[in-house]
Structure 1
Amino acid sequence: MNPPLPSRRRALAGGLGALAAAGTLGPFAAGCSAPAASASGAARLRFWHLFSGGDGVNLAKMLDAFGADHPDIDLEAVTLQWGAPYYTKLGMAGVGGRAPELAALHLARLPGFGPGTLLDPFDLDLLAEHGVTEKDFPPDIWRRGRVGGKQYAIPLDTHPMVLYFQTEICEKAGLLKDGKLAPIRGAEEFTEVLRRVKQATGRPALVTETLGAESVGGWRLFSTFYSQTGGKVLSADGKRLVIDDAKALRVLEWMASMTAEGLWVRRVDALGAVGVFNLGKTGFLLGGEWEVTTFKTNKVPFSMTRIPDLFGRPTAQADCHSFVLPHQDDRGGAPNEAAHTLVAWMLKHSVDWAAGGHVPAYLPVLDDPAYLKLDPQSEYRSVLEDVELDAPAWFNGSASRMWIELGDVFSGVLTGSRTPRSALAEARERIRGFLDTPNPLPGAAS
């Protein structure tokens, strides 16, 4: 769902968004021959993003506040269709060198966007003038935005898989301690917790996305638990398949056993999983943290926590929203300074962004009393140091073909249509296919 945007941006966002959804927006339509300054003399700043729903509402409010604080900047925010349509248009805009001044990008997709060709580097001295420096970010996440010694992405947040739980159900099952979920250590203990919830309710204890068109839930679950074993799917440079069969099978067999025993809902898509939890029909939900606004709006008695360490490490699959500078042949001057100004302002005001569930990447915000008061959003903030991003490869990252294809493969393990061994063999085959395929974006490295 795309909520209405504030009036000063509605025409632009709605018109271009509709064309993007229909596939008729030319690759350079929003950026062609745009002047550096508006008729009023303010610096022109065009910002493309893919945020809708709760994200879009939060962002619209923040951009309105930024506009009020910066009357010298004429901000034009364009909401484009989430997923492949967005990334295709963003890449093509960079090819032409007539792109917007600023855009949003999932950090794990950076390698596929030809830093230095489709993207321009940030001016770190200019960011530092606004009080934003490298030390303000987790080192691993910051490094993922750096290529060839230049910074091409500035992280805004991380959005990991988390564990939602119904407080009333868990209290009935004796799983709460001081109102919080008691610590869970290991897969066997977590399985026993699920059995206790099922015994208390008479229904499956946990729901998660297990099927659906372009479903990615199976991949995100596998990636989370496989990363906890210390296993890697690709080499550090993203060029070789290095999956550990023993570790992968250990995870897949456990996932299969959960639905086989009736502890997880077997067949449900992403929206259905949210609905099941929303109605209090299960004790737990494994999913993305952005659903927090849904459950708070519906006054569900719930809380959230990090996914427990089941296989040896407390990691969780994640990606990060980040800011990038799409390539412009004549980047510089007031519009480029305005882009850096907006990035720094968004980071310093990311308490407002965190209300939607995302964990701020800007470390000073994590100690902000306003953020610490966000309940339950601040409960899982420590996961920032343990997120597992995809290896750097053009076919990885949010909305990528790898997520969708491997999501389909591993969903079969949850529904019972594939055995763990057959799913692993199929996953290997599909990953090899990606490795053998050049990056289809013009101008981008493979």
Structure 2
Amino acid sequence: MTELRVNRRSVLAGGLAAAGLAALSGCSPGQNGAARTLQFWHLLSGGDGIALQGLIDDVNSAHPEFHVRPTVLAWGAPYYTKLSMAGAGGRAPELAVMHSSRVPGYVPGGLLDPWDLSRFSELGVDESTFSEPVWNSSVVDGELYSVALDAHPFIALYNTDICGQAGALDSDGLLLRPSDPEEFREMCREIAGVTGTHGLSYGFIGDGQQMWRLFYTLYCQHGAEMTFPPGGQVEMDPEAFAAVLEFMHSLADGEIAAQRGTIDVAIAEFAAQRSGIHFTGVWELPAMQDAGVPVGATMIPPLFGGNAVYADSHSFVLPHQSEPDEQARSDTYTVVADLLKSSLTWAAAGHIPAYLPIVEDPAYAELRPQAEYAEAADYLVYDPVAWFTGSGSNFVQQFGQIVGGAVVSGSGYDEAAEDFRSYVNTMLAQPNPADPQGERS
């Protein structure tokens, strides 16, 4: 990469390394030979990793009878491969973090153990303490297999100074919410008139994840559904599919947004205040604040009729253990409950806390601009459930390769929809490799 990328993965990396070494050394005020060690695997680096380590330190200080020992592994395929191998061998850590979208693919192979709702209820954690979309994303085959720490949606950051000059803010100083594509495009053109460059920063070239996040947000705004039945055929709305690709192409006209922008260019452009709006994940918020951008944040406007927000969640899971230590497992419930109840600190990283009492706390309402998009928790849409979907999967890169040409060229939308259908149907016919029985999930 030749661009300077200002984002969470590059923030305070040295501090994370130091924190990780301290954690792996096993040093703990309560570690006197009697403290039980709870192994905790996660994939959070940069500012997120440091924030989580702070929460873990607080838990360890409050519970000298045990010590949470985190291990940070590389994000993406390496992490999920190691986690599946540990679960398959029955010698997994006591606790791990997974993206909610990846959990359904691990359940059929017995790689995860379900959580006991009655144990959590005693600790003040139950269905009523989560929004419906978040809770539903945690349940597989009627059992709770993950407990969300957050929701990290794909949203619109905006420069309040630039958008104010362009007349794109309402009387409360918040970004206007156009209700149709042309109204949004016109607003972006007004913003471009102020910046002299682009109205919108949205990098997508060579980045299937970025394309999928925006595509699925807009697709679901149509009220359209997309389901991947195991061993069956994909169910999707080809007209909505093509309409979204056409709209995405219209944004990359060289005025509204760069015609061939990458995510790194988009981040750098918005950080340098050369655009007014940035389509990105909430995780980019702290870096923009650090860069001195006068930044607000909101859900992407309901351009196709309804509110929908693509998202995923960092969630706690119980990797399968053949002979779990019951006391250690009980301690693990305590750890998760404590982390949820202290997640106001986590919100500073941009994520929406999944634990509703935190979002309903007056202190959260004072957290700006995070509180401006808190309502997104009611409109979250997660990846279609399948063993091959989810964050860090090949699915999103394949999606980018299938639709990228149409988005760039402005043609072949229907063909891209059919190519996508064919790809998904091929995947649905294959067995889940995480299932040792080789059954379709």
Please give the TM-score of this superposition, normalised by the length of structure 1. 0.89
Q: What does 1:379-398 align with in structure 2 at a 5 Å threshold?
A: 379-398=372-391
On the 8 A contact 1:259/1:266 being kept in 2, the answer is yes
Unmatched segments (≥5 aa) in structure 2: 1-9
Instruction: State which drifts further: 57-66 or 86-95.
Output: 57-66
**2: distance between equivalents of 1:62 and 1:141?**
21
Say if 1:47 and 1:77, in contact at 8 Å, map to a contact too: yes
Q: What are the within-5 Å matches in structure 2 for residues 63-102 of structure 1?
A: 63-102=56-95
Alpha-carbon separation, structure 2, partners of 1:59 and 1:360: 13
Cα distance, 1:363 vs structure 2: 0.9
Q: Deviations over 1:26-70 (max 9, x none)?
A: xxxxxxxxxxx9762112211100001121111111111111111
Distance 1:260 1:7, change over 3 A: closer
Which residue of 303, 314, 317 maps to 1:324?
317
The residue that corresponds to 1:403 in the other structure is 396
Change over 3 Å in CA distance of 1:340–1:390 after alignment to 2: same
- Flag the 1:6–1:345 CA change in 2: closer, same or farther, 3 A: farther
1:109 lines up with 2:120 in the alignment: no
Aligned to 2:131, which of 114, 138, 147?
Answer: 138
> Percent identity among equivalent residues?
38
Which among 173, 197, 205 is matched to residue 199 of structure 2? 205
Moved more, 81-90 or 296-305: 296-305
SS in structure 2 of the partner of residue 323 of structure 1? strand
Query: 1:263 is paired with a residue of what secondary structure?
Result: coil
In the TM superposition, residue 4 of structure 1 has moved relative to its aligned partner by: 3.4
Residues 127 and 432 (structure 1 numbering): CA distance in 2 closer, same or farther, change over 3 Å?
Answer: same
Give ranges in structure 1 of 5+ residues lacking alignment.
16-36
Select the residue among 177, 187, 191 that pairs with 1:183. Answer: 177
Q: Which moved more, 1:231-240 or 1:274-283?
A: 231-240
How far apart, in 2, do the equivalents of 1:418 and 1:298 lie?
Answer: 38
**Counterpart in 2 of 1:311?**
304
Is 1:256 aligned with 2:267?
no
Is 1:47 aligned with 2:40?
yes
The answer on whether the counterparts of 1:9 and 1:76 sit within 8 Å (CA) in structure 2 is no
In 1: Cα distance, 2:407 partner to 2:255 partner? 11
1:437: Cα distance to partner? 2.0
User: How far apart in 2 are the matches of 1:215 and 1:147?
Assistant: 27
Deviates more, 1:281-290 or 1:422-431: 422-431
Match in the other structure for 2:329: 336
- 1:287-298 counterparts in 2 under 5 A? 287-298=280-291
AA aligned to 1:162 is I
- Equivalent residue for 1:416, pick from 398, 409, 419: 409
Equivalent position of 1:32 in the other structure: none
1:267 corresponds to which of 241, 255, 260: 260
AA aligned to 2:131 is: P
Find out whether 1:4 has 2:11 as its counterpart: no
Structure 2 counterpart SS, 1:4 = helix
- Supply the AA of the counterpart residue of 2:191: V
Stretches (4+) displaced over 6 A: none
Matches within 5 A, 1:152-231: 152-177=145-170, 178-212=172-206, 215-231=208-224
Asked if residue 353 in structure 1 is aligned to residue 364 in structure 2, the reply is no
Q: Is the 8 A contact 2:90 2:321 kept in 1?
A: yes
**Matched AA of 2:185:** T
CA 1:377–1:208: 2 relative to 1, 3 Å: same
Q: Is the 8 A contact 1:48 1:103 kept in 2?
A: yes
Q: Matched residues in 1 for 2:258 and 2:77: separation?
A: 29
**1:3 Cα deviation from its structure 2 partner:** 4.2
Deviations 1:82-134 (A, max 9, x none): 00110111111000000000000111111110257110111222212221122
Letter in 1 for 2:181: A
Q: Which letter maps to 1:220? A: R
CA distance in 1, matches of 2:16, 2:167: 44
Counterpart-to-counterpart distance in 1, 2:264 and 2:191 = 22
Q: 1:433 to 1:238 in 2, by over 3 A?
A: closer
How much does 1:408 deviate?
Answer: 3.1
Q: Aligned-pair distance for 1:428?
A: 2.1
Q: Distance in 1 between matches of 2:411 and 2:72?
A: 38
Deviation, 1:305, is 0.7
Deviates more, 1:93-102 or 1:1-10: 1-10
Q: 1:105 to 1:419 in 2, by over 3 A?
A: same
Deviation at 1:257, TM superposition (A): 1.6
**Cα gap change, 1:382/1:39 in structure 2, threshold over 3 Å: closer, same or farther?**
same
In the TM superposition, residue 324 of structure 1 has moved relative to its aligned partner by: 0.4
Other structure's SS at 1:303 match: strand
Kindly indicate whether the alpha-carbon contact (under 8 Å) linking 2:226 and 2:235 is maintained by their aligned counterparts in 1.
yes
- What is the aligned partner in structure 1 of residue 7 from structure 2? none
AA aligned to 2:21 is R
Deviations 1:67-86 (A, max 9, x none): 11111111110100000110
Matches of 2:229 and 2:424 in 1, distance apart? 15
Q: 1:394 to 1:13 in 2, by over 3 A?
A: farther
Distance 1:292 1:13, change over 3 A: farther
Cα deviations across residues 394-422 of structure 1 (Å, max 9, x unaligned)? 01111111112112333334433863234
Contact 2:230 2:429 in 1 (8 A): no
Number of residues of Structure 1 aligned to a counterpart in Structure 2: 424
Deviations 1:286-323 (A, max 9, x none): 01010011011111111111111000111011111111
Query: In the superposition, relative to structure 1, how do residues 183 and 70 fare at CA in structure 2: closer, same or farther (>3 Å)?
Result: same
